Amino acid sequence: MENINHPTALADEPTLPFLPPPTRFAVPPKNAGRKRIRGLKPPAYSLSSSSDPAVFSSDDDPALDNYIHGRRKKRYVGTWYDQHPASSDSADSAMGDDMRPPLLKPRPQRQFKRQFDSGVWMQADISTDADENMELDPSISRLPISHSAPLRPRYSEEEASAQQIVQSCIDVGREEVDLSALQLCSIPNAILELISLIVPIPTVAKDVAFEQRDPDIKLFLSNNFLRQFPSAIINIEHLTVLSLRGNRLTELPPAIASLKNLETLNIAQNKLRSLPGELLSLMKAGSKLTDVQLHPNPFYQPRVPNYCPSGMEEYERGTFGPKGDADMCESWHGFTTTLLARTPVQFSYHSTVVSRFEFPTATSLPAHLRKLDLEELWFLEIPKVIRKTIGPLLDEPRASTPKGAPPLFEMALRAAARYPDRESTKCMLGERGVPRHFTPAFERAAHIFDMGSQTCCVCGRDTIMPLTEWVEFREVQRTHVVVMGQTENWYSTRVSNNGDEHCVPFVRKGCSWSCIPFKASEPSEDLELVPEV
Amino acid sequence: MATNSDGARNTKYVTMISGDGFEFVVLREACLLSPTIKGMLRGSFSEAKTGRCVFPEITGPVLEKVVEYLYYYHKNVNVPYVPDMEIPVELCLVLLEAADYFQLDKQMT
């Protein structure tokens, strides 16, 4: 096969295989039947990427003929990323020309963009010019990184120092956490939760068996500016000493009764007007509480100072069920209380008080307004509206265990209080068309939820919207029980002989209108009654 | 189902229909917990005659939850320490309104 264009000057040189025709010249196949058909048109720039199938025809057919049929080596022009994968000759040519798909498919212009996982961008040893010219701004990342990473709670200076103290207590295993006089206005629960992590380091001495003991945590929060009882305290199981002296607390949570290991409680010099009735469970025979400082506090006082109720036993047994006073098998000393009087019951409905008797709501009260009316234990004033509803229930025997389901309203309220986004809930409740009593009911429920829990004092059901409320005035006594053989000797002394500190108010809350004090039977005529003022 | 007015009064079931057309056939005894429904099923109201109560302001999912509550309550009368019924957060505010409407807002026992 002669190429006419071949220069004759080279004719005497040793024969070399002829170069394939540059382009355009079509060479008819020789043995069309047996051999592979090359394309009549040599492929234009077949822009195929390196990952395409083999380009050497020898892979398919080792015959050298293949090399003289206008076959040309693939050439790549332009940058690597402009190379499009195209069908390779070797694969397609077998199908014949007719079936050959178009070599250059129309492709959209490739957008240049940075691909983070591409090796090209990963600081290769050999960098190309393009790399160096690229300005890669590391601050702007296109990866979907959430920018709302949880921020660490920012503590104020006082809170930070409190945290340091707690942390150092954990580090050295010290059980006295002294956070007093740090000018704390509030203390985040996150800090107090750390206190549960304190583990005492046992004393190791010769000839003493190693013994693991429960921590004996003492928490001093005295002389701060706390307005709310830090609710995380009630979760510190092994708390034995709690001092909240000299704060601005207006209320103790009912859940304080869950601090069963508490031995010392100091709540003097606060703004407490009453104590939760649940605290009484720590002030009875058998409990561990041995030291209580309650005064001074602006407590409610009875309007009639020296009051001697009748039917006390009946009231206590009827309202709160039979007392489970366990027989003391060993000597005990602690606190007990005796009932002195009780106020009328405040009934509320739709977050408004419907009874004549109402607790003052103002935040600060002069002493004469802190005096509350009293009611005989055999008398029970129930507003007419409520009497109509609960009338038949009054005669039924009291349930000492909660029975039946809570009202739907309360269940929905609880679900709402559990939801953390309080502000948006309040906004929705403030919209037009929503009954107005929803917002105060929700606020109260949220408050009770934050403070732990509130149980009905009569039926023991967990409630988030108590409907009845009354105060019991009790005398707190320091009591010693000495057991000698089969006999128990009880010695009680008043905690305080000061007239103002004689009566301590304990708030009782009921979950329904029928969770009210038991009406003691009327005393006989000859007993002189103290008139209500 | 009885069709005459006297018959409907004593049927065992009552049909509650939501505003968007969902119908719930509920035990009459369970329904009577709600003073609102009790009032509807009394006297000469059309609901009392037909035994069908339509609540145009209440949507299907909410009414379904209310009906669930009615049965939950009915089942647990006199059962001590009742387990809580699940209330989804997204429904709690509408359920507050529904509870207010059905007067299921205070402890009855």
Domain that holds residue B17: 9-101
CB B22 within 8 A of CB B36: no
Which of A100-114, A218-232, A382-396 tops mean pLDDT? Answer: A218-232
Token pair of A457 as six digits:
């004092």
Q: What is the pLDDT of residues A115-132, one digit of tens each?
A: 666 555 555 455 455 444
B29 vs chain A: nearest CA distance in angstroms?
15
Is B93–A412 a contact, with Cβ atoms under 8 angstroms apart? Answer: yes
Average pLDDT over residues A197-206: 79
Contact residues on chain B for A435, CB-CB shorter than 8 A: 97, 100
Is A404–B84 a contact, with Cβ atoms under 8 angstroms apart? Answer: no
**Has residue A509 been placed in a domain?**
yes
**Has residue B106 been placed in a domain?**
no
**Has residue B17 been placed in a domain?**
yes
Q: What is the pLDDT of residues A390-448, one digit of tens each?
A: 776 666 666 566 677 888 898 999 999 988 888 998 898 888 888 888 998 999 899 99
Residue A94 has pLDDT above 80, yes or no: no
Give the count of domains, chain B: 1
Domain that holds residue A522: 306-401+413-531
> What tens-digit pLDDT sequence spans chain B (109 residues)?
444 444 556 788 999 999 999 999 999 989 888 988 988 888 888 888 888 899 999 999 999 999 999 999 999 888 888 888 889 989 999 999 999 999 888 776 5
Residue A88 has pLDDT above 80, yes or no: no
Contact residues on chain A for B82, CB-CB shorter than 8 A: 402-406
**Has residue A162 been placed in a domain?**
no
**Has residue A207 been placed in a domain?**
no
**Has residue A213 been placed in a domain?**
no
Give the count of domains, chain A: 2
CB A269 within 8 A of CB A244: no
Which pLDDT value is given to residue A453?
Answer: 84
Domain boundary among A91, A121, A153: A91
Tally of CB atoms within 10 A around A71: 19
Which pLDDT value is given to residue A379?
Answer: 84
ipTM: 0.90
**Has residue B73 been placed in a domain?**
yes
**Has residue A521 been placed in a domain?**
yes
**Has residue B108 been placed in a domain?**
no
Is B107–A406 a contact, with Cβ atoms under 8 angstroms apart? Answer: yes
Is B105–A407 a contact, with Cβ atoms under 8 angstroms apart? Answer: yes
**Has residue A494 been placed in a domain?**
yes
Mean pLDDT, chain A, rounded, equals: 75
How many beta-carbon pairs below 8 A join chains A and B?
Answer: 102
CB A441 within 8 A of CB A465: yes
Which pLDDT value is given to residue A117?
Answer: 63
**Has residue B41 been placed in a domain?**
yes
Query: Smallest Cβ distance to B96: which of A405, A412, A461?
Result: A412
CATH number, domain containing residue B41: 3.30.710.10
Which pLDDT value is given to residue B23?
Answer: 93
**Has residue B87 been placed in a domain?**
yes
**Has residue A111 been placed in a domain?**
no
Q: Closest Cα to residue A444, out of A361, A327, A348, A351?
A: A351
Residue A53 has pLDDT above 70, yes or no: no
**Has residue B3 been placed in a domain?**
no
Is B66–A416 a contact, with Cβ atoms under 8 angstroms apart? Answer: no
Question: pTM for the whole thing?
Answer: 0.70
Positive or negative: CA dihedral B53, B59, B61, B63: negative
**Has residue B107 been placed in a domain?**
no
